[in-house]
Amino acid sequence: MTERHAVDLYEISAEVLHRMTHGGVLCTVMDAQGATNIITLGWGQIGPGYHGNPICIIAITPRRYSWHMIEEVAEFVLGVPDDALQDAALLCGTRSGQDCDKWSEANLTAVPSLHVQPPSIRECPINIECRIYTKVAPPHLLLTPEHREWPEDEQHTIYFAEVLGTYRW
Ligand SMILES: Cc1cc2nc3c(=O)[nH]c(=O)nc-3n(C[C@H](O)[C@H](O)[C@H](O)COP(=O)(O)O)c2cc1C
C-alpha cells in the first residue's frame, strides 16, 4: 500500500471545493461505541484561522443518522473522492447508515486515521482529519433560505473544526 503523505490543504482547496460542489465529499463519523458511518456532504467551508491550522466547517441536520454520531464523537474525516467514486458519493448521500453498512455497499475501505477516531477512506485520494471545537445550533442564518424554512429542530447544526492533518495517498 502506498504511504500517505501530508499535503497543504490550502494548495488543494480548489480541488476539495470542486468535489464538494460536484457530487459532494465523503465524511466519516463514529459513535461512542465505535461504530462508523459515511455521509456525503455538499455544504462546507475551508479557511485559515485556528492555532495556525486550517478550519473546516460542515453542516449536518438531525434528520441524518450521522448526526447522533458526530454529536457523540466530535471528530470527522472528509474523504475527497475522484471521478471513480461518484457512485459511492451518491450512495452515501442517499442511503442511511441506519439501514445498511455503507462501507460494504459502496465498496469503501476504512483505514485508521492519524489524528482522530473516525477512519479515513482508502479509496479517496485525499483525507482531511478534523476535530470539532465549537458548533452553532439553530436558529442561525448560516444556511440557505430554503433550509431556514425547515422546522427549527431539523435545521443543520454547523460544526467548526480544526484540521489536524491533510493526507494524499
Ligand atoms: C451531493 C450531496 C450533498 C449533501 N450534503 C449534505 C450536507 O451538507 N448536510 C447534510 O446533513 N446532508 C447532506 N446530504 C444528505 C445526506 O448525505 C443523506 O441524507 C445521507 O443519506 C444521510 O446518511 P445517514 O442517514 O447515514 O447519516 C447530501 C447529499 C448529497 C447527495
Q: Is 129:155 a contact under the CB 8 Å cutoff?
A: no
Is a pLDDT exceeding 90 seen at residue 11? yes
Omega before 138 within 30 of 0, i.e. cis: no
CA of 65 to the centre of ligand 1 (A): 10
The DSSP-derived string for 115-133 is SSSSPEETTSSEEEEEEEE
Say what percent of the chain tops pLDDT 90: 89
pTM more than 0.85: yes
Q: What is the pLDDT of residue 2?
A: 76
Q: What is the pLDDT of residues 114-166, one digit of tens each?
A: 999 999 999 999 999 999 999 999 988 888 888 888 999 999 999 999 999 99
Q: What is the pLDDT of residues 81-97, one digit of tens each?
A: 999 999 999 999 999 99
Ligand 1 within 6 A of 41 CB? Answer: yes
Ligand 1 within 6 A of 96 CB? Answer: yes
d(CA 123, CA 108): 6
What rounded mean pLDDT belongs to the chain? 96
Mean pLDDT of 72-82: 98
- Written as nine digits, the cell of 71 is 454529536
- Structural domains in the chain, sorted by start: 5-168 (2.30.110.10)
Q: What is the pLDDT of residue 132?
A: 98
Predicted confidence band of residue 69 (pLDDT cuts 50, 70, 90): very high
Which residues in 33-169 belong to E strands, given as ranges? 36-41, 44-50, 53-60, 75-80, 110-111, 120-121, 126-136, 157-168
